Amino acid sequence: MASSMSDQQFIKSFTIFLILGVILTLFLIAMGIVNAGTITQRVQDERNALAATGSTNTLAPVGQMNVGTVSAPAAQPVQVAAASIDGAQVYQGACMACHAAGIAGAPRTGDKAAWAERIAQGADTLYTHAIGGFQGKAGVMPAKGGNAALSDDEVKAAVDHMVAQSQ
Ligand code: HEC
């Protein structure tokens, strides 16, 4: 049986094969240990470096996707432009009580005769009298029609509305 391996030969080859396998395994394990050591060392170094920079965020991601800044809308003071104030609405809320019917000597809105002379004083005077109050011959115009919560611009818008209705 020259062509087939003898048992002895087989055992010999198998033993060599086994030994080689063990050596290879040991080699790989050793490599692994060395590598692991290196990696551990690298992580340690990195941490130390981070600590040295004073950064406390050691868990910060290496990269960050920038999806644009979402800035919270800055708190802006509510500015009501004079143009956006509804003079008619202010008038209805604060001025109509006296000026619609002409109560207590108030010039009635729409009464052109009653308003002609007042309008002739100029808008600034009307504004001043409406905002600051006004004691005239006919009666007392309370400051802002008695509604102190109104802004000057709101009162002006109401005056504009009244004047527009009365000329
Ligand atoms: C409590 C009643 C009353 C209310 C409310 C009132 N007014 Fe008058 N207003 C008067 C009287 C009275 C006069 C007339 C005073 C005078 O000429 O003797 C007057 C006069 C005016 C005049 C004319 C001023 C001038 O120079 O001739 C304007 C403008 C005016 N009011 C605007 C307003 C506006 C705007 C409001 C609402 C924000 C308002 N009033 C609310 C009573 C009122």
pLDDT of residue 52: 79
Q: How much is the average pLDDT of 19-33?
A: 94
Which tokens is 66 given? 């920038």
pLDDT of residue 41: 84
pLDDT tens, 109-118? Answer: 999 999 999 9
Helix (H, G, I), strand (E, B) or coil at 140: strand
Helix (H, G, I), strand (E, B) or coil at 134: strand
Helix (H, G, I), strand (E, B) or coil at 135: strand
Q: How far is CA 74 from CA 67, 78, 81, 133, in A?
A: 20, 12, 19, 37
User: Could you identify the residue written with the tokens 């992580």?
Assistant: 43
- Which residues neighbour 132 within 8 Å (Cβ) at sequence distance 6 or greater? 143
User: Could you identify the residue written with the tokens 């802004």?
Assistant: 151
pLDDT tens, 80-130? Answer: 554 578 999 999 999 999 999 998 899 999 999 999 999 999 999 999 999
Which residue, judged by its Cα, is nearest atom 29 of ligand 1? Answer: 126
- Which residues neighbour 143 within 8 Å (Cβ) at sequence distance 6 or greater? 131, 132, 133
State the closest ligand 1 atom to the C-alpha of 117, by its place in the atom list counted from 1.
Answer: 27
The pocket around ligand 1, CB under 6 angstroms, is made up of: 94-95, 97-99, 103-107, 118, 121, 125-126, 129-130, 134, 136-142, 144-146, 150, 155, 158-159, 162
Q: Where are the domains of the chain?
A: 1-53, 86-165
135 forms bridges with which residues in the sheet? 140
For the four alpha carbons of 55, 61, 66 and 72, in that order, the dihedral sign comes to: negative
| pLDDT higher at 73 or 53 | 53
Mutate to test the pocket of ligand 1, among 99, 127, 152 (most ligand atoms within 8 A of CB): 99
Rounded CA separation 1/30 (Å):
43
DSSP state, 72? P
45 forms bridges with which residues in the sheet? none
Q: Check whether 79 has a pLDDT greater than 60.
A: no
Classify each residue of 4-21 as buried b or exposed e, where b means 16 or more C-beta atoms within 10 Å of its C-beta: eeeeeeeeeeeeeeeeee
pLDDT tens, 34-45? Answer: 888 888 888 888
Domain 86-165: CATH architecture, name and number where available: Orthogonal Bundle (1.10)
Q: Check whether 60 has a pLDDT greater than 80.
A: no
